Structure formats: C-alpha cells, structure tokens
Amino acid sequence: MDFGLTDEQRMILGTVREFVARELLPLEAEAQRAELDGRSFPGPDDIRRLQQRAKTAGLWGLLTPEEYGGANLGMLMTSLISMETSKALIPFSYGGHADNILYSCNAEQKQRYLCPTIEGDRTSCFALTEPDTGSDATNIQMPAVRDGADWVLNGRKVFITNGLEADFAIAFAVTDKSKGHQGGVTAFLVDRAMGWSSQPIQTMGAWRPAEITFDGVRVPDDNILGEVGQGFQLAMAWIGQGRIIIPARAVGQAQRLLEMALDYSRQRIAFGRPIAEYQAIQWMLADSAVEIEQVKWLVLNAAWKADQGGDARHEASIAKLAGAGMIWRVVDRVMQIHGGMGYTKEMPIERVMRDVRVYRIYEGTDEIQRRSIARNLLKGHATLRAWS
C-alpha cells in the first residue's frame, strides 16, 4: 500500500476544499436559522444547484465510469473527498451518480434509467426494507405475481431514502417463495407513473425517508433488473459501498467538531483559566483525536482493498461499526465541552448529534456488523494476520 497521493489526487482534494469553503461552509448559518424556524435546509433544489456548481469545478460522478461521463475516481479518493466535504456540517452529495446495481441494466434500460439518473434528469430509490423486515433482508415478503406479460406488486416498503423525490424505484419482491431469498427474489424498475405512492416518515434528524405503497402496481417483464430470481444478489451488491462512505463522512464531521471543541476550549474561561488547561477537557480532546484517526485508517484500508478488486466486505463492516460509534462519542464530548451552548439550536452540535444517530442503524445496524465480523472470523473468511 502506498500512503502517498499523486499530484492529480492532491489537486482534486484541493478543488474539493475550495468548493467546501466557497459553497458549503457559508450555508451553515442558514442551516442554523432554518433549524430555529423548523425548516429544512438545504432542500432538493438547493442541492441540485450546488451539484451543478460542483460539476463546473469537475466534481461530478466520483464513482461513475468515464464512459458515462464520470470521473471514476475509485473508493479511496471518494472516501477522502467525503471526509473533506463532510467538514461542512450540512448534508450534501455530489451529482453524476447512479446506484451501482443500475449498471446491471440491459442496453435499453440503460437509456431509460441509468443514463438519465447519472445526468440528474431522473431520481431513483432503493426499495428493500419492509415493515417487518429490516436487518434480515432474506425475509422480505412483498410478492410479485405474474399476470400475462406483467408482474403485479402489492405491499409496502419503509425507510426508503429518496422515496419522496424518486420518479422510479428499484423494488425487490418475492417471485417464487419456494426458492427462498437466493433464487426467489427479483428486482424491478418501477416508475412512479406505474402507480406507487410515497409518504414521509418523520425522524429525529435530517434524514427524510419514505414509506412506499404498491397497490396492484403492474410492471412489465421489460422492467426486470438483471434476471428473475437474482434480486437478492443485486441487493447485497448495492449495500457494500455505503458501509465505506458512511464512516468516511463520520470522519469529516468528527474532525470539524473537534476543531470547534479545540477553539472553544482555548477561549472559554472557567475559574480564571481556559478550560483547555484542565485535564478533564484534555482527555476528551485526546480520546476524540485518537478515535478519529483510528476510523480514518479503517476507512482508507477498506477503500484501498475495494479499489484493488479485493473482497472488502469484512473491512467495510469494521469501518462502518467503528465509524458509527466514533462520531456519536465525539459529538457527545464536543457538546459536553461546550456545555449549555452546545445543547442549544444556536450551534450545529445538537443537530449533528441527531443526524448521526442513524449511522448506527441504516446500511446495517451495529449488531449486524458485529454478527458479520464474528461470522467471518469463525468461518475463516477473514483472518487476524497483520496483512493478507
């Protein structure tokens, strides 16, 4: 592993830092005002405008193959970019992206779904989770019943990211219950115009997932993604990338929060001295710095292995578990250092605390990550060697 960056990679990260400083950091004050007013900011239109400005700067399609107009930077650079971007404590993601499993579209589907999604003309959502099926994705129940040349979908999906904005869903349904999840689940490309509806689910943070209802929705054979019965494999392929990007985002957020804590502890006077001089504060700062550094290298290791074409699922689970816990502990310490002010909506700390709590839940809960890590070790799929 080469820990150095090329001149081109340094230039890209420099562009990211400039974009964050110029476009994102100035929006934090408005985000705080919106928090006080009970508004959501930035909204979808704001994000799209920012994405277009980022595109002008060359920040577009970070993981998208060059043949589709993307930069194809790989997971390592995308992770580093996520760390830098997340230092602005507002939600933002770069454009030019499509769900990785949409590359499994056939040629005709790519023109209808993949390419327009990359260009930002269409928006997708990944519809797997059901009211009674979260972590155990093998147990999804929503049926798809063949009727002539169509499949009829009936059921509900919940906690669907982009479910409110999406004009089509990648929906997973049971097409042959007798074959179980390995051969009985199929992925469908389902336009909203085919009849599904969505309702918002209110959460404690900025994440605004949706509940999606399929009530007799007819989907033609032409809209099957991949092959009949191979949907579960596609679903598992989709999940992997998020388990690297989420902890990368956590590193950036934690670094910014720690910077805030350092500045505040130097300025805040208690009993005639800056609180930075008290051991109780110093230990919170030190523990946070250590944990951030640990997660940073876990993320980069997983991303590097993925870029080398290796199976990085074990490393991604470790990074996801460590990162989700790290950001929660860091934001809690930073709030404690700021005292009462940290608890108010005048500062972003409490908002970040609410936003990052979901990191321990979506893309695989802490418990699922622990289960996967332990199972990999017990079955010999992963080892404790220093390098492999």
Each residue's pLDDT tens digit in the chain (388 positions)? 667 899 999 999 999 999 999 999 999 999 999 988 888 899 889 999 999 999 999 999 999 999 999 999 999 999 999 999 999 999 999 999 999 999 999 999 999 999 999 999 999 999 999 999 888 888 999 999 999 999 999 999 999 999 999 999 999 999 999 999 899 999 999 999 999 999 999 999 989 999 999 999 999 999 999 999 999 999 988 887 889 999 999 999 999 999 999 999 999 999 999 999 999 999 999 999 999 999 999 999 999 999 999 999 999 999 999 999 999 999 999 999 999 999 999 999 999 999 999 999 999 999 999 999 999 999 999 988 766 5
pTM listed for this prediction: 0.94
pLDDT on residue 145: 97
pLDDT on residue 373: 97
Architecture of domain 7-98 in CATH?
Answer: Orthogonal Bundle (1.10)
pLDDT on residue 70: 96
pLDDT on residue 1: 61
CATH 1.20.140.10 fits 233-378, yes or no: yes
Catalytic, 66? Answer: no
pLDDT on residue 236: 87
CATH 3.30.420.40 fits 123-225, yes or no: no
66, 259, 363, 367: which is the annotated catalytic residue? 363
pLDDT on residue 356: 97
pLDDT on residue 161: 95
Question: Whats the size of the chain, residue-wise?
Answer: 388
Q: Domain residue spans in the chain?
A: 7-98, 123-225, 233-378
In whole angstroms, what is the distance from residue 62 CA to residue 72 CA?
Answer: 6
